[in-house]
Every structure is written in structure tokens, then in C-alpha cells.
Structure 1
Amino acid sequence: MKSLESKSISKPEAKDISCDRSHKNYDFCTISGPTVLDPTSSTFFVMDPKTLTPQKPTVEKVRPYPRKWETHTMSRIKEVTLISSPIIPNSEIQHKAPAILLSAGGLTENIFHDFNDGFIPLFITANSIFPDQDVVLVISKARDWPILVLISRNGGVGRVLLNQNEVKFEAEKIGFNVIIFEPTPMTPMHKAYELIHSGHAMIGIDGAALTHTIFLRPSSVFMQVVPLGTEWAAEYRIEAEESSLLEKYSKDDVVIRDPVAFRGTDWSLMNVYLKEQNVTLDLVRFREYLKEMYKKAKKFMNKEG
């Protein structure tokens, strides 16, 4: 386990802004004295009469996350600025207690990293520097997860989302807490109800499992992804490049180019679209739909919980 050591963190010498960057796991910065936070720019301003003199301001930047050695992880942690400057924004909310800043980004949302990168370092910091004191937690990248239920299809049934993991990751980057739900004939109905009714949004590829939409709360958000050949029911109509049928037919084949003409009135031909076809969503294109879905789901969550 790599985390902050259990030894006490020394309180730095009195100075407006001080940063200790000697540790391999983290940078440790402090501000001594009253401070104003501008959340729009992630900047802490030192409220100190000395800063009103025409001197060059002190500026430090820090990414408040204890995995300093992991460049990729740290690149996703929002940088915070500490500055001593005569230009200080107005303070609308005031606290008398000291503040501890940390990020809930990075690898959190994973139970190991929640503790190893979050709770344990926070506990050590708070108890080493501010023992027996109340503190204000300033959390960067705090997550207020609207819930998105992603209906999964697997096996030889057709209409399988082939890049499901990538779609899940894109939705999580936007702000969703994605729960994969793969219903089976053995899934208890009350379990399906509890999951879907607690959510704020649902996505699935056209199929019988989408009957679970009856468990969605009114005004929650639902998006049905419809493969080629069943466009009449589409919320998200896939492009030819997103269909696995391109592996069997050319883009100019009538199966791809004009599904209505291909099937005509012969419903048996629908098996080409219903059972032979899987879907690989275009993530760039689909991301725009996810963003709009998130806005609507967030409004629903703020109103209904």
C-alpha cells in the first residue's frame, strides 16, 4: 500500500505561503492567516496587509492528490493556485476554522483508492496539523453523481454494445455514475425495480430488456440506441460505421444503404438487423448526446433527489 506515512506531518514555519515538495508521494502547501477562495478559478488569495504593498506576488501551484509519482493520474487532477496579491475577491461565506484542501478526482470511486488516496491521507493530515480542532474540507472534483443505468446485452442474441466499457468511461467522464445492468430471466423483479427506480437516466440498445423503462421515475431521462433497420424507434440512430453489419456487407449494399427497401414486407429479413447486428458506438458523436442527457438528468436529480 502506497500512502502517506503514519508519522506526523511537521507544521511548516510561519510564512504566508509555504510549499514542501520534497516528498515522493505528495506536495504539501500551506497558507498562514486568513484566506479567500475563488472557486471559479481555483485560487486561494492570502488576506495579509503585507500583500497590499507593490511587491511581486508570491504564487504557488499544487495538485492536491497523493500520487505524485503517477504522471498520468496527476495530469487529471485540477491544479490549484495559491497567491499573495493586493487583488482579493469578495468573501461571501466566512469560516473561522482552518481548511484542508484535497481532490476527489484521480482514482477515487474505487474503494481501495478512496481509502488509500483519500481518507487515510486526510486523517493523517488533519490529526497531525490540527489535532482536536474542527476543520473545513475544501474538496476539488467533488462528485454529485446523477446515476446512469446502462442496459447490457451479451451472448449470441445480437444488438450487443461492443465498446460498452469505453461508453461507460465516457459517461463517467461527463459526470455519470454508471451501473451496468444485465437482466436475465432469473433477475428478481424487485431488484430490477430498486436499481432502475433509484437512477436518474437509462441507456440501452433496442430490445426486450428496455421494457424495464416502466420502473423509471417520471421525468428521468431515457435514451434508446437503435441499430440499422429499426430507425423508426430511434432516439440515437446509429451510422453505418457503428454497425457490425459492415463486416459482412459493403457500405453500398442495400442491406446497409436502404434497410426499408431490403426487408420490404418480409419480416423474416429483420433477423439480419435484429440478430446478426452488433453496435460499436462512435464515441465522439455519442459524447454530445451524453452531455445533453447529463444536463437533463442533473436537473431531474436536483429536483427529485
Structure 2
Amino acid sequence: MKLARKITSTLTETWLGLGLLLGFFLILALYLTGFPQFMSLDTYKLSEIEEGASKEEFALTPPSTGGETEFQEEEPKKTEEIVPMKPICDFSDWRYDGCEMQGDGRALGQENNSIVYFIPPPSQIETAEAQEWMVRSQSRKIVGIREVIVKSINSSSPPAPECTIRKNVPALVFATNGLTFNFWHAFSDVLVPLFTTSRAYDGEIQFLITDYQDWFVEKFDKIFKALTNYEIINFDTDREVRCFDHIIVGLRGHKEFGIDPVRAPRNYDIFQFRMFVRDSFSLPLWLDIPYKVNDSPDKKPRMMIILRGRSRKFENADEIIAAAERVGFEVIPGKPETENVTEFAKKVDSCDVLLGAHGAGLTNMVFLRTNAVFLQVEPFGNMKWACDLFLNEPAAEMRLRVLGYNVTAEETNLYEKYGKDSPVIKDPLQLEKWGNASLVYWQEQTLRLNITRFTPVLQQALQLVEEQS
């Protein structure tokens, strides 16, 4: 009996051990076959990282069981962002129209209207709007300037002409006609805005000139050569297709005979323009007036008097010159329209004072040295606003010292021509309302200065000059 119980106990323990052993091997086999439900999260993370997946990627991608689970999300499809093309032309400024394009620009001269094409980049050409502008390419929106056509094309437009010449510098398209026969307008409408628009390129820019005036380019040849290192193209007669990565159409003119440094590249101002002009004409860049550097202490300071030939001329110019000489000046009569610009610039540079009645001849102030005196005679009528806006304010910004003399009714020929009781004499503002002021005060008027009244102003000019000695 004892033997039977021993045998039974032994068999029971043997089968139990065998069962446990078989169970262990079964579990091990299932584990090694890789069933995911037997893998721990840590083991899964480790295996994924070892295969090159980041922890961040794992966080967005739950373990897969060979089919979709409630944790899986379809990855959103990426759509290419289309950046709208910026407008290449802006007509919002009160003074000028302008276009600027970066990329594939092509310039083609034509007899009637020269054309500038702009081809948008491949990423935008499908969605770009085909547009066309007529651009007055000067700094003043006036009638009579030859316009330039600017065309921005798209994939549906007729193709632009193929390039025949390519330049790796920017191009600037502008006009030289308009009111530029007037010396003041030549500077205010073209030369100052041209400096503002192109100077920052340090000569690495090519000019394409529409409404090309040979005399203008020749007259201001020194300024053009100081602004561009390249051939100047007559855009109206040119038959090449000139291609550039950067084209500017129009000149950036901020104000009358001036520059707004806030809007200008490198914060250029009109003082820097004057120094640039002096350098272009090979005038010394001293920042003082000639009197201070005279070789002889007995040498008199010099005054140039601009002598106009028609309207607003001095009828008693000889008396004015004699009065200036009595005060202590050496006087140089100046008739800029009769002389070469380069030679006249040298004469102005040698003077301490520039005197004249309001007019284009006073634009020669650009050739004066810093702290020289600018003395403007203000004609009769409501002329102060014009004297200040067009000449006095620019002169002050050029670092010249400004004086003025206001003509009375008795010092103008209009007093005798119309009579002291005429609205021309008694109410100039009323005449402006009637629309006749320009003809009368600007075109008909000549001046006979009261020498007794004018002499103290000459003395004040001399005092300002001597303060620099």
C-alpha cells in the first residue's frame, strides 16, 4: 500500500513538472514568433528607434498589426503654397510713375512706344495676371513725355521676344524730354531723381533713355559718366532685345529740386547730390567757401550776379554791380545760357555769393561750395512760395546760407504798366484767382531795384562771407 502511494505521488509530480515544462516552451515559442501582443511598449520603442525611427515619429505612429487600428490617422496631403506676385508697377505717388521687376526682364526699343516685358518665375507664371501699363518714365507726371509700355505676361500670353543681348547689371529706363530745356527742370525732373534712383549702384547700372535728347546727354555728359560705367542706349531707336535680371522704369523724384533721405537709398540727400555734382565736374570738395582759402588777404570776396535776358531781368544791373563793388565785392556778371556748363561751373565755384532774381539760372547753386551765400531776389506778386519751395529750401538743404530780398511794387515795371490802382498791384492774390498771375508776374515783369534799400542786404551777405575768414 505504501508502495502504491509512493508510485502515484511520483507520477503526479512527474506529469505536473512535464506540463509546466511544456507550457514554458509553448509560451517561449509564441514570444519568439513576434506576436505584437506579447511585446512590451518599451521593447517596441527600442526596436523602432534601432530601425531609424525617431521618438517623435513614434509618438505619431502607433504599432501596426497589419491593418488599420482606431489609433491610425491618414497623413494630410501637402499642398504647394502659391505666393501671390507683388505688383511691379506703382502709380500711387503724386509725382512719378514707377515699375521695378526682379527676374526675367526684356527691353525692346520701338519707333512708337518702347516695351519692357516681365516674365514671372515658373512658380508664378501659371497664376500670374497678364497686365500692361503705360508709364511716364520721368519724375514728373506731365503730358508730352514719350511713354514706355510695361507688360507682365503669363503662360497664356504670346511669348516675349528672345534675348539678343544679356547684361548682368540692372537697367534703368527713363526719359530726357519734357521741360528739360529749362535748367531748373533739367535738375529737378531728371538729374536729381536720376542720382536718387541710380547712385547706390556705384556705376554698375545701364541707362536706356527714351525720348532721347542728344543735346541733354551731351550737356550733362559728366554727370551721366559718373553714374554709369556702361554705354547709354537710345531706347527709341534700339532694335536689340536687351535682357536683365533687374529693370527699373521711371525716376524716383521725391520733391521739387530735392531728395527725401528717408525714402532714398543710403539716405541720400540734396547736400550729397551737390557734392556729387562738384566731384563730377572735378571741382574741389572743400567744405568751406573760397574767401577762407584766398592766397592774398587783400583779395576781395567774389559775387556772381545772374543776368537774365528777358522776364524778371534787372533793368539797372549796372547800378546793382556798382553797389556790390562799393560794399566790397569783386563782381562777376553771369550769363549761364551763353557758356559751356563745365566752364560756368568753374566760375560759380570761385564765388562766395550767388545773386539773382528768381529763375532757372539760380540752379547753378549746385556748383557753390558749402557755406557760400545764396541771395535770391523775390519778384513782385505772390512769389514767395515759389522762391522758397523751388530754390531757398533746396539751397538751405545743400548747406548754403540763404538771404532774400523782396521787391516792392515801385521796383517793378508792372507799377507803371498797369498803374498803382490796378488789381495787378493792389491785389496779386485776386489776380491768381482769375488765372492771370503766371502770365503777368512771371512773364511780363522786369525789375529795377532800389539801391538804397538793397545795399544793406549786400552788406549782410559780405558779413556772412567774412565770418568764415
Give the TM-score normalised by the residue count of structure 1: 0.49
Greater Cα radius of gyration, structure 1 or 2: 2
> Whose relative contact order is higher, 1 or 2, with alpha carbons under 8 Å and at least 6 apart?
1
Greater helix fraction, Structure 1 or Structure 2? 2
